[in-house]
Structure 1
């Protein structure tokens, strides 16, 4: 049990890759990270969002 917590959000794919690289260098557990791509198509810009899983303590 737990929830996904947003840790980073950007419109720039290069920023996303750089942030992921830093997480991997810090040895963050890969399955605990989720990448969402929110596509705005022609109306809104595409947004890349990184979330991490936070387990409930109870």
Structure 2
């Protein structure tokens, strides 16, 4: 498949080699392609720089029973179950 070598190289040099170092959190999800493209355009137009290595764009291809879904995830450091210091601290 074209681009497979590049994809594997990017995965090896990814944000986190150990899954315990962090997790991916979904920040935007839609089934409307126009809304998806508008959100990406607005994201690119922001004045602050976004680290592309910490973003993951997924297109979940659908069939008749499941429509196509577009998803944007952000890499969050720390384990997925960790609520963080500002949540429910005793």
TM-score range, shorter chain: 0.7 to 0.9
- The TM-score with structure 2 as length reference comes to 0.55
1:3 to 20, 23, 42: 23
Larger radius of gyration: 2
Q: Please list every run of 5 or more consecutive structure 1 residues that lacks an aligned counterpart in the other structure.
A: none
**Secondary structure of the residue that 2:63 maps to in structure 1?**
coil
**Secondary structure of the residue that 2:42 maps to in structure 1?**
helix
Which aligned segments of 4 or more residues in structure 1 are displaced greater than 6 angstroms? none
**1:32 matched residue in structure 2:** 54
**2:42 matched residue in structure 1:** 22
- The TM-score with structure 1 as length reference comes to 0.79
Q: Please list every run of 5 or more consecutive structure 2 residues that lacks an aligned counterpart in the other structure.
A: 1-20, 80-90
Higher relative contact order (CA 8 A, sep 6+): 1
CA RMSD of aligned residues (A): 1.7
Hey, what's the Cα distance between the residues in 2 that align with 1:28 and 1:3?
18
As a proportion of its length, which structure holds more strand?
Answer: 1
